[in-house]
Chain A
Amino acid sequence: MAPEKKSDESNRIPINFYDSDGENGHDGDPDESSLENSSDDQDFTNTMSSDDTAPATDTDVPEHEDGPPAPLPQADGSTEEVAPSAGGPEVAELVATRAELKRLESEVKELKEALARRQADFENYRKRMERERGETYSRVVVDIAAKLLPVLDNLKRALETEASVEASESDEFRHFLSGVDLIYKQLNGVLDALGVKPVPAEGEQFNPHLHEAVVTEPTDDYEPDTVMQEIVRGFRVGDKLIRPALVKVAVKK
């Protein structure tokens, strides 16, 4: 399969002890990665604490930034790159210095890359936080309403059930019942004031973005795919759905 070739190459990245390491910039030579270990260990522990991100990563950046070459241990790199026997000590030193320079250069490049990556991440994170802050209010309302709605459901169920056995009840009970009805209305009013609005259902075209079909009924009385009955009312805040309306949907007979 021809188009796969490219991905195969990048798959080779982490397995650099195999042979080549040239084709992908960041994989560098093995010495380097062992030098990097100290700082990367830290990266890895960060990845483990998945929950909070911003503060930890923020403070990390300056640490990397401070002075790229100086504070890093140098032992590995310089011992590996010992000069060949030719020439005097000066040549040897020159070779060693060049090697060191090369190593430091690639290290700076790598740190710059890491910094750029962090900066981009942080920017995107900041943007997202801003966006999310705007949504925080409605999210809180959604959470509270979602927990409160089952109470509303049950009040409604209670009133509906009692309404159907109306005739046999005493006057006292009727008064009591209309009081409960007022409480139900009050609760609805509170939710409405919070911006929690019912989702239109009965008679609407079934829409899975707003409705959840619980049962279907073959019928000729309704157009297929019409909501015949709202079983549990759905609610939303703005365009955020708190929960879908549970509905009965008409299907072709």
Chain B
Amino acid sequence: MGKAIGIDLGTTNCCVSVLEGGAVQIVPNKEGGRTTPSVVGFTDKGERLVGQIAKRQAVTNAANTVYAVKRLIGRKYSSTEVQRMRETSAFEIVDSPNGDARVRVQGRSYSPPELSGIVLQRLKAAAEDFLGEPVTDAIITVPAYFDDTQRQATKDAGKIAGLTVERIINEPTAAALAYGLGKTNVERIAVYDLGGGTFDISILEMSDGVFEVLSTSGNTFLGGEDIDERIMNWMADEFLSDTGIDLRKDRLALQRLKEVAERAKCELSSSTETNINLPFIAADTTGPKHFNKTMTRTEFENLIVDLIDQTIEPCQKALEDAKLKPTDIDKVILVGGQTRSPIVERTVEKIFGKKPSAEINPDEVVAMGAAIQGGVLTGEVKDIVLLDVLPLSLGLETRGGLFTKIIDRNSTIPLRNSLTFTTVVDNQTSVEIHILQGEREVAGGNRSLGKFELVGIPPSPRGVPQIDVAFEVDANGIVSVSAQDKATGREQQMRITPTSGLAPNEIEQLIKEAEGHADADRMAKEMVVLRNKLE
């Protein structure tokens, strides 16, 4: 096994990291950036653009520029998340025969794993450029609350990109790993992750390398983009009251506002005031108009305090769910670029009663943890054993539409567990095994992972046949189920995928396609190089 790269596959941005000579390195992309926007653009010339470049053409090609695929991955079209995203996205989100959400671009429907696969393929290529050797293995991180289907879909995305996904790990777990936590002592850690578009809080407990997610909470529509928007609105309002001109009506002025808003936000993390200077931003009959204002940190914080305060409740809920008091938390880790603002740090300190740790770049900490896990798997890092836990309970639908748990949530994985079931009517010759994941007592309230039938049970009175149903969860949290009739030894098993996601042959097909595109990409790259030389 060569080097395994660690990939933080984010909603808005991705980051890649690798262990080299015992040290974690961030892998820059082709454009030199340390993070890559999770955006894919399909041009009418058949090119597939990824990252910053895809973003640059979004305005001219909105319907064919796909972003935030992570919100769709492993989800049903009918789910509230997908429906909510449909309302605002400029690209078309469609239903599919198995109910999965898909994206329709240029008349072809793409599954979310395929789209994420396109991004991953580009990240893989960047890592190969950086390392000067082929890369085939990867560790990919997912939110702690991702269920089996979402994890499986993420794994499929890696496969489509030509990567062997050695392990899927939880983002907060990766962050904790990057901080070198949980090696020996029992520690309880809160990971506060405020990203570009989502907020997640996770409470972990670790001891002897076992990372248990005690609880998670968050807000899937809150992030740095909201903060930038507040600053832009403030500038536009100020300008309007000074000059009577509404910059929001001027697309070009808005572009400039956006740029300085981001810069002002960054500057106010380290200094207490910043000068926002936009000469010749507009003009009217009396001549050119300039925007020149000083924004103090206090003004900035007043603008966004209600946004940051929205993170308090999820934190308290997570603590409550974990049955912990703030004082039980040993360490708080900050993840996501937005956590650089001092107001975030203060809010977190207020919630947990201790100063959060932010020594590691919060944009990169998750990818770094994934790379460390990669080092564990290749044998480069040896003093940690990482065991994760199952995020949600697994079980079966039993008589009366009830849910019978076979493996409880937070069980350390990998593991295997079985229960014996029986028939409910006389001479019943087959049983339907309906596999579910979730915490609700009623089967219908949980997520269906798949169904299969065990047939050929010898006719006998109800309650007599004994059917062993065994669940096996591998280290990635991916589930397989088998059912065996004890009397006949007849067995039926399944690896979870069929009702959802992509079938193995579909994946094979997509891998081939992706490889074809990799060639096309290489050719396109050579063309650009040649063209540049000619100029």
- Interface of A with B (CB < 8 Å)? 1-4, 6-8, 10-15, 18, 26-27, 33, 36-37, 40-41, 43-50, 52-54, 56-57, 60, 113-114, 117-118, 121-122, 124-125, 127-128, 154, 157-158, 160-161, 165, 206, 208-209, 211-216, 225, 231, 239-241, 244, 246, 249, 251
Contact = CB atoms under 8 A, between A and B. Distances in A.
Contacts of B159: 3
Most buried by A among B24, B378, B504: B24
Interface stretch (B48-56, B111-119, B332-340, B443-451): B48-56
Contact of A53 (B20, B32, B58, B132): B20
12 contacts: A10-B1, A10-B377, A11-B414, A11-B475, A14-B386, A27-B379, A40-B382, A46-B21, A157-B280, A161-B288, A239-B532, A251-B60
B475 A12 contact: yes
Given A40-B382, A161-B288, A213 B59 contact: yes
Contacts of B378: 26
B31 A7 contact: no
Contacts of A47: 19, 22-24, 372, 375, 381
Given A50-B360, A165-B287, 12 more contacts: A10-B166, A11-B475, A13-B377, A27-B379, A37-B382, A40-B381, A41-B383, A44-B180, A45-B180, A46-B23, A117-B380, A216-B60
Given A10-B1, A47-B372, A128 B59 contact: no
Interface string B492-508: 00010100000010000
Q: Interface on chain A toward B: helix, strand, loop, or mixed SS?
A: helix
A208 B49 contact: yes
Which size class do B's interface residues fall under? Answer: 35 or more
Given A121-B21, A161-B280, A209 B528 contact: yes
For the complex, would chain B's binding face be called helix, strand, loop or mixed by DSSP majority?
A: mixed
Given A1-B497, A10-B166, A213 B58 contact: yes
- The 8 A-B residue pairs with the shortest CB-CB distance, nearest first, are A57-B21, A26-B379, A157-B280, A208-B57, A212-B56, A46-B22, A121-B21, A213-B59
Interface string B478-499: 0000000000000000010100
Contact of B56 (A13, A128, A158, A213): A213
Given A11-B474, A14-B376, A249-B60, A43 B167 contact: no
Contact of A50 (B24, B133, B528): B24
Contacts of A3: 159, 504
Interface string B287-316: 110000000000000000000000000000
B207 interface: no
B23 A53 contact: yes
